[in-house]
Amino acid sequence: MKQSHLFTKTRKDAPKDEVSENAQLLIRGGYIHKEMAGVYDLLPLGLRVFKKIENIIREEMNALGGQEVSFSVLQNPELWKATDRWDDKKIDNWFKTELKSGGELGLSFTHEEPITKAVAMQVSSYRDLPRYVYHFQSKFRNELRTKSGIMRGREFVMKDLYSFCRSEEELDAFYKEVGIAYENIFRRVGLGDITYLTFASGGVFSKFSHEFQTVSTAGEDTIYIDTEKRIAVNDEVMTEEVLEELSLDRNKLVEAKSIEVGNIFKLGTKYADALGLKYKDKDGKDAEVHMGSYGIGVGRLLGTVVEVLCDEKGIVWPASIAPFDVHLVELSQGDEKIRGLADSLYEELQAVGVEVLYDERDTRAGEKFADSDLLGMPYRIVVGRQSTEDSFEIVRRVDGLKKTVSKRALLTQNYGF
């Protein structure tokens, strides 16, 4: 991608109506566009990052045996009435719409009901279970506050995985596998060292649910971390009884603000029972299906990465999810030889599969470097007066470390840092 052709442009100033750093930087960098409070559009750069995060999650869900589907955002009220979740007094953040022919529909805020009903049409025998179904789909939440940028929106994409098991033991085993998969996801997007499995309220279904919380001063939650065991306890369940049950020493726990980036939850048999999902066991008797629900907000995860890994210059993308591998910056200032070197390197990098954003604009070096820092690609290659056919400067974004490397090093992405 040549930067002069890019749909978006950078901005020097942050929007005055945004207080969150993730939204300020993403808007300034041209990654997202704000439609209104709590509603954001993904622009080309933002969509590239989003898709990379989505693919990491997809790979981990597929490795669990998950099967990807795509369910509608329009919701049948009858399903939600069956589980007592249609009434606004029970769920106060519904978006609902009226049909011209009469009646109401909901805009999905989660998908337990419709997916459970669909599974009920497919499952009859113990041989049909377990089943693991997931999708990436838009969710709508009628939030009162939307001050956290893309980390808390009224419209967002969630990855929901739902498990359908024959017994509590089967659910427990899969539940642990999902926890490991989530740890893999957060490690792969660059948050592994600061994200903790966190014990939280299990509601009416189980004693605990489990969140994955990333330490950040921008977070809305408070957690208490055992750094040696790499687990935490949410403030909402922080009691001596809980600490004793988890074998945690209060004096060893570190208090921190955090952002919830994922959750895993045992649902029991409530939804299956309410929506007629049963199966015949080996003796031909009706048996209950035990469900689990596992969520990750893709945009929320993207925003969290920006929030916790940025610096005073701008965004710092981990290589795994950066929109481009390198930012190629030419400083020819009218010198055709230098411009030719840069053009040639751009073509050669693309030919070997390196993803390149090429800044060939006719602007000042300082402006190009400032934009490069703001956009946050992992590496910047500079082609200027010091460059030769086989000698180029490369700068690592995360710490500003510079090296002079050969063309072969650039083409093989073996920079030697």
Which band of pLDDT confidence, cut at 50, 70 and 90, is reported for residue 61?
very high
Which band of pLDDT confidence, cut at 50, 70 and 90, is reported for residue 15?
confident
The pLDDT tens digits for 237-253 are 999 999 999 999 999 99
The pLDDT tens digits for 103-130 are 999 999 999 999 999 999 999 999 999 9
Q: Looking at the predicted structure, is the pLDDT value of residue 322 above 90?
A: yes
Q: What is the pLDDT of residue 94?
A: 95
Model-wide pTM > 0.85: yes
Here the contacts of 7-11 (C-beta below 8 Å, separation 24 or greater) are 7/43, 7/44, 8/43, 8/44, 8/45, 10/371, 10/374, 10/375
Mean pLDDT (the chain) is 95
Angle made by CA atoms 108, 218, 311, in degrees to the nearest 5 = 115
- Please give the domain boundaries of the chain with CATH numbers for all domains: 3-309 (3.30.930.10), 326-412 (3.40.50.800)
Which band of pLDDT confidence, cut at 50, 70 and 90, is reported for residue 205?
low
Q: Looking at the predicted structure, is the pLDDT value of residue 204 above 70?
A: no
What dihedral angle (degrees, nearest 10) is formed by the CA atoms of 243, 244, 246, 249? Answer: 60
Mean pLDDT of 339-347: 98
CA nearest to 111, candidates 135, 90, 78, 86: 135
- Mapped onto helix, strand or coil, the DSSP state of residue 53 is helix
Q: What is the pLDDT of residue 148?
A: 84
Q: Would you list the DSSP string of 163-227?
A: EEESSHHHHHHHHHHHHHHHHHHHHHTT-GGGEEEEEEE-TTT-SEEEEEEEE-TT-SEEEEEET
Q: What is the pLDDT of residue 379?
A: 98
The pLDDT tens digits for 280-302 are 999 999 999 999 999 999 999 99
Q: What is the pLDDT of residue 144?
A: 80
Pick the range with the lowest mean pLDDT from 2-16, 56-70, 312-326. Answer: 2-16
The pLDDT tens digits for 133-170 are 999 999 999 988 777 889 988 999 999 999 999 999 99
Mean pLDDT of 51-60: 98
Pick the range with the lowest mean pLDDT from 194-208, 298-312, 339-353. Answer: 194-208
